[in-house]
Structure 1
Amino acid sequence: MSRPGLDTNPLELGPDWFNNLFSEIGIHAEVKSLTSKSIGTGQIGENVRFVFEYAKAGPDAPRSLVGKFPSGSEASLMTAKLLGHYRREVMFYRTFPKVAGRITPSALYTDYDEETNRFALIMEDMAPSEQGDQLKGCGVDEARRALGAAAILHAAYWNEPSLDDYDWLQGSSKAPPPALGSEQVAGLWAGFKERYAKHLSPENIEVGDAYAVALTRGWGEQYSGPFALTHNDFRLDNMLFGPPTAKKPLVVVDWQTTSRGAPANDVAYFIGAGLTREERPRHEQDLLRFYHEKLMAEGVKNYSFDELYEHYRWFSFYGISVAFGAAMLVKQTERGDEMFLTMLRRHCAQVRDNNSLELLKALA
């Protein structure tokens, strides 16, 4: 078989390639023809939907599949290589069956080449599920689905020592130091502030400046709570919402930033950017309690709601660094600019509403 994304243009994959794949993994079908179309809004990878016409097909033959491949943007390719995104996503699907397939699309084929840093994922197509909209935000029902998935993810490897065994997993004891240190991340804030100066309020700048200083004084090393497998980009654009009665009413995609990290990080990031500035304060505490209840139902013990809330306050800053960091490192687009600015403003409001700036005084 050829290796799409490594030595083949994915849009040029034909029936023979998929027939070979189906034979390898035990799907009984013969593809007669197919159509390929780029989909999605990804900035780190490119997604393609493959729709099949069969000469013959068993009951397990998929009507369509989705493939994920390297970005066509040189800036995004360089970022993915620097941060290990492509290898990490492939290894996530290969390593964590208690999560992959339960709250993700099932992966039929994974490939990664260390030398070229190119990769391929062929996954089940979740249509008619619809991608969440980071700009629009979501309602309470969608937020509950997302936080339920977060509880499944975090409980599966809660305080699991084996997470330290993987050198490709961010935050593990065997992982190399981050490609971008705290000083460099703080420097990205300076560049972001200059590029988007006319779009930032004094309140945004105050929070961003305080956080940038805290980063250089050890903000990232201060957390001492529970750890788990985390997504680290747990937001609406990386979620596909299906009918509530579907086998998978929600799936989470884009696992290139998966980590051994703080569960509250994903929760604060999602709530802070996923709900609008007007809606978040109305529902924030109820959503946190919902997540906590689901976490307990999944078997987690000895983690109080008060502990969760303190960790939530601390990690309300995390989305700020994602917003300004991604804006400065990936391909710049009009939608990307709007999305990153919207995220940053929402997280700055989250910090203020939860009095999180007070927590940084210990780093002064």
Structure 2
Amino acid sequence: MDFALLLEDQAPAVQGDQLTGCGEREALLAVVALAGLHGPSWCDPVWLDQPGIAFPFPDEPFANGLGEVARMSAEITLDKLGDRLSAADRETLTETMNLVTPWLLAERDRFALLHGDYRLDNLLFDPDLRRVAVVDWQTLGIGLPARDLGYFTATSLNSQVRSDIEESLVDDYHRNLLSYGVTGYDWETCWRDYRLGMPHTVLISALGFAFATATERGDEMVLTMLGRGCQAIRDLETLELIG
């Protein structure tokens, strides 16, 4: 047998709405669940050679290659979106994608299993908001754990909500990480990693958009995600951490 298909009925769970964004309760569920992915796999070398990983732990050749693809996808994305993307966001996207290679090679002493596309469209919430299920694991990877965290908050919360509650969410994430036995990782380092993880927002958004067939919702979604992501990168002064 080449593969096994395992299905589970998630009813009455409701899919998150990427365009609308979520509130604090949904966000808390999501970051606690994310710690449940990162904590057990934290710096465990067994994952470095695990088959089926779409985005392996980045070495220099991989980082250089993805950096080239990132720059190409940024150019295609900017061309396709035109002036629908603000001048400030166009500049932030270009600057960020030009730094993908050194960004991927930063902070290599911390890694975990990454979902890679951890956002509202891929989360199913029970109606009573006590449980969340995560779907769409095709971007499974290994890397700096807070990339998933930054990607979620920056793309799935509107910018004002994200700014208001992100420190609290990082605190909840960090506290739950420690409950899985993660050691030697203080809150200040977690916060810095969170800031450093933000380029994942525009990288995944642009990669998906540049090479996919355009749809009305797809265009609206990438504009929303890029706008929120670029704002977060500026608010958190992420590029200064890389450059």
The two structures share one fold, judged by TM-score above 0.5: yes
Give percent identity, aligned residues only. Answer: 35
CA contact under 8 A between 1:129 and 1:243: conserved in structure 2?
yes
Distance 1:208 1:243 in 2: 36
- Pairing of 1:27-42 with structure 2 (within 5 A): none
Q: Which moved more, 1:286-295 or 1:296-305?
A: 296-305
2:10 matches 1:126: yes
Distance 2:143 2:92 in 1: 23
CA contact under 8 A between 1:111 and 1:121: conserved in structure 2?
no
Deviation at 1:111, TM superposition (A): 5.4
SS at match of 2:124: strand
Unmatched tracts of structure 1, length 5 or more = 1-109, 113-119
- Corresponding residue for 2:32? 148
Distance 1:284 1:130 in 2: 24
4+ residue runs over 4 A deviation: 176-180
Deviation at 1:179, TM superposition (A): 11
CA contact under 8 A between 2:116 and 2:141: conserved in structure 1?
yes
- Corresponding residue for 2:97? 212
Q: Which has the higher strand share?
A: 1
Partner residue of 1:234 out of 118, 124, 127 = 118
CA contact under 8 A between 1:323 and 1:341: conserved in structure 2?
no
Deviation at 1:325, TM superposition (A): 1.1
Distance 1:345 1:334 in 2: 17
CA contact under 8 A between 1:269 and 1:318: conserved in structure 2?
yes
Decide which structure has the larger Cα Rg and report it: 1
Counterparts in 2 of 1:225 and 1:310: CA distance versus 1, 3 Å: farther
- Pairing of 1:1-364 with structure 2 (within 5 A): 112=3, 121-169=5-53, 170-172=55-57, 177=62, 181-215=66-100, 218-244=102-128, 249-361=131-243
Q: Under a length normalisation based on structure 1, what TM-score does the superposition of the two structures give? A: 0.62
Give the alignment's Cα RMSD to 1 decimal.
2.2
Distance 2:236 2:21 in 1: 20
Distance 1:133 1:277 in 2: 15
Counterparts in 2 of 1:271 and 1:225: CA distance versus 1, 3 Å: farther
Equivalent pairs, count: 241
Counterparts in 2 of 1:293 and 1:305: CA distance versus 1, 3 Å: same
Counterparts in 2 of 1:173 and 1:290: CA distance versus 1, 3 Å: closer
Q: Which has the higher helix share?
A: 2
Deviation at 1:298, TM superposition (A): 2.2
